[in-house]
Amino acid sequence: MSGRTRHLLVFILLLIFILPAIWPLVQPGFFVTDDGDWMIIRLSAFHQTLRSGQFPVRFLDRLNFGYGYPVLDFLYPLPFYFGEVIHLLGFGFMDSVKILFIASIIFGAAFMYLYAGFIAAVVYTYLPYRLFDIYKRGSLGEAVAFVFLPVILYLIDKKKIILAAIATAGLITAHNVIAFLFLPVVFLYSRNIKLILLALLLSAWFWLPALYDLQFTKAAITTVADYRQYFLWPF
């Protein structure tokens, strides 16, 4: 049996193993999540704004009661470009978001298999945080970001530094917070500062304007969440 045939059979077996994680997403309608509805609304507004000629899309014209909302100036933009491609293939906005979630599970498992093996791919798929992320939080950006993590490590192992830098840039634009947490891992794993610098350069179109535009927001004095509310303390 050739290596290609063996990989194909393993991928088919892997798809069977991860099918329960995908099955709810192929059912009619959309499930209730914290942010899932917002992903659909933002994708539709992204499509409308892109058609108006704005590129790269930063300011979603239709949101905020018609005053516009610079959400993609600060929030991860890459999943919405993926969603736009799916929508242009003929799928509705809701189905486009669901397909992205499904693709994130399948490709995340596939690349984890290539990087660390079959068992690692199954465990990666069923990590409680990943399932919670999709089915409770509805975080499209994090779901897409989890595809890039094994891709980056796999490419580093294969000594494909330029491709690893491109994948790291994809991670930065897929979910900036996950990227912020994972970049030190990328550096320690690769020991290659050029990889990090190239990734930052390739993604500068997103993070550089975002850093500049922070001065026009109240981010510094706004508390989004208090981590202490999510832990048990002895007192």
Per-residue pLDDT tens digits of the chain, which is 235 residues long: 666 788 789 899 999 999 999 999 999 888 888 888 899 999 999 999 999 999 999 999 888 888 888 889 988 999 999 999 999 999 999 999 999 999 999 999 999 999 999 999 999 999 999 999 999 999 999 999 999 999 999 999 999 999 999 999 999 999 999 999 999 999 999 999 999 999 999 999 999 999 998 888 887 777 777 777 777 777 6
State pTM to two decimals: 0.90
Longest pairwise C-alpha distance within the chain: 62
pLDDT of amino acid 57: 93
The SS3 assignment for 205 reads helix
CB 152 within 8 A of CB 164: yes
235 C-beta neighbours (distance < 10 Å), count:
2
d(CA 133, CA 228): 20
- Per-residue pLDDT at 133: 92
Determine contact, residues 87/93, Cβ cutoff 8 Å.
yes
